[in-house]
Structure 1
Amino acid sequence: MEWDKLWTINKKIIDPVCPRHTAVIEERCVLLTLTNGPDEPFVRIMPRHKKYEGAGKKATTFTKRIWLDHEDAKSVSVDEEVTLKDWGNAIVKEISKDRDGNVTQLTGVLHLEGSVKTTKLKLTWLPKTSELVNLILVGFDYLITKKKLEEGENFTDVLNPCTRFESAALGDSDMRNLKPGEVLQLERKGYFICDVPFTTLSKPIVLFSIPDGRQQAVLK
């Protein structure tokens, strides 16, 4: 049996109960300024899992300036309406790029009366605040680069040169409360287990990726 078929059992076990949090990959993350956003940040208390009360609550901060993953930012177009998860819709009005064509900044307006059913992109985001925590997201890959060795084939010829990879990220402030061994889902990024919890702002939280049967690793 293929490993990915076994790993789908992970998802069936943890998805109904593990809390949801948000992270943005730090490399080239993009600031979206909402010109009609809140002049003063405000906080809403929200469930950590919408269908499982036992996961507890979390505090989500809403601000005029929010962080997006670069991969998401480069997917949007001028005048496109997108959904900001757990907030509502916004319309992108301006896209700034550097000389190499990389998106560096977005400007938009909230359109909370818009329907989330009509948007193509549902984006995770983080508020631009000093309360965010630093994360190291750790993923693992196969030891060899093919599923099955042929007869007489030397396994040293197909060794994977990189079986561990890391991504620096920003995480929501409630992740300060994670305990070692606690399992969580990072929205749109997958499932993780806390290896090193929060101690100080100078030391990142370390999260290990939990395989869930997907063919493509999100962190690569």
Structure 2
Amino acid sequence: MEWDKLWTLNKKIIDPVCPRHTAVIEERRLLLTLTNGPDKPFVRIIPRHKKYDGAGEKATTYTKRIWLEYADAECISVDEEVTLMDWGNAIVKEIIKDQDGNITQLVGVLHLEGSVKTTKLKLTWLAETNELVNLSLVEFDYLITKKKLEEGEDFLDALNPCTKKEIAAIGDSNMHNLKQGEILQLERKGYYRCDVPFTRPSKPVVLFAIPDGRQQSVMK
């Protein structure tokens, strides 16, 4: 049996029960300012898994300024309505760029009466707070670059030059409480196992990626 089939079976076991969390890639992350957003941050308690009560609850903070990933910002057009997951819709009114054409900031308005069924983009986001958790997302790749070696072929010729990738990210404040070995899903990124839990702000929480048999790497 190929590895992908085993990973697919594994996904069927963990997906119905593992809690959901949110992370934003650190590199080039930028702020979306919601001009009609809450003047004072507020917190809602929501399920860690919408279909499995056993996963418990988490606290989600809502603010006027929220972090988005640069890759998501590149997909947004002026006056486009997008869905902010676990919040509602917003309309992006302004996309600010520097002299080199790089996006530096977004400005928009909440449109919570909008329908999530009509939006093309469903975005993960994090409130701009001091409670976010530093993360190191680690992904392991195969030792060789081919599924099958030909007869007589030297495996040294097929060695993968990069079998481990790490990327810095920030995660929601609830990830302070992750335990070593706990399995979770990062929304729109995939499944992970907590290898090193939170100890202090300067040391990131280390999450090992769990393949699901089909998912594209967040590192690429």
- Interval of TM-score (by shorter of Structure 1 and Structure 2): over 0.9
| SS of equivalent residue, structure 2 residue 100 | coil
| SS of equivalent residue, structure 2 residue 181 | coil
1: CA distance, partners of 2:216 / 2:80: 28
Deviation at 1:215, TM superposition (A): 4.8
Deviation at 1:101, TM superposition (A): 2.5
Pairwise CA RMSD of aligned residues? 0.9
What letter is aligned with 2:18? C
| SS of equivalent residue, structure 2 residue 206 | strand
1: CA distance, partners of 2:37 / 2:187: 23
| Residue aligning to 2:14 | 14
1:169 aligns with 2:173: no
| Residue aligning to 2:49 | 49
Give TM-score, length-normalised by structure 2: 0.98
2: CA distance, partners of 1:52 / 1:100: 46
Alpha carbons of structure 1 residues 206 and 35: separation in structure 2 relative to 1, 3 Å: same
What letter is aligned with 2:10? N
| SS of equivalent residue, structure 1 residue 202 | coil
Give TM-score, length-normalised by structure 1: 0.98
| SS of equivalent residue, structure 2 residue 136 | strand
2: CA distance, partners of 1:134 / 1:72: 20
| SS of equivalent residue, structure 1 residue 10 | helix
Q: How does 1:56-135 map to 2 (within 5 A)?
A: 56-135=56-135
Where structure 1 has 5 or more consecutive residues not aligned to the other structure, the ranges are none
Deviation at 1:218, TM superposition (A): 2.0
Alpha carbons of structure 1 residues 23 and 159: separation in structure 2 relative to 1, 3 Å: same
What letter is aligned with 2:176? R
What letter is aligned with 2:149? L
| Residue aligning to 1:149 | 149
Deviation per residue, 1:140-160 (Å, 9 max, x gap): 111111111122221111111
The 8 Å contact of residues 78 and 94 in structure 1, kept in 2 or not, is answered as yes
Deviation per residue, 1:112-152 (Å, 9 max, x gap): 00000000000000000000010000001111111111222
What letter is aligned with 1:96? I
| Residue aligning to 1:214 | 214
| Residue aligning to 1:138 | 138
What letter is aligned with 1:167? I
Alpha carbons of structure 1 residues 215 and 14: separation in structure 2 relative to 1, 3 Å: closer
| Residue aligning to 2:4 | 4
Deviation per residue, 1:169-213 (Å, 9 max, x gap): 000000000000000000000000000000111111000001111
Deviation >6 Å, runs of 4+:
none
The 8 Å contact of residues 74 and 102 in structure 1, kept in 2 or not, is answered as no
The 8 Å contact of residues 89 and 111 in structure 1, kept in 2 or not, is answered as yes
| Residue aligning to 1:189 | 189
The 8 Å contact of residues 38 and 62 in structure 2, kept in 1 or not, is answered as yes
1: CA distance, partners of 2:190 / 2:159: 26
1: CA distance, partners of 2:8 / 2:97: 39
2: CA distance, partners of 1:105 / 1:10: 39
1: CA distance, partners of 2:96 / 2:215: 33
The 8 Å contact of residues 4 and 215 in structure 1, kept in 2 or not, is answered as no
What letter is aligned with 1:206? V
| SS of equivalent residue, structure 1 residue 184 | strand
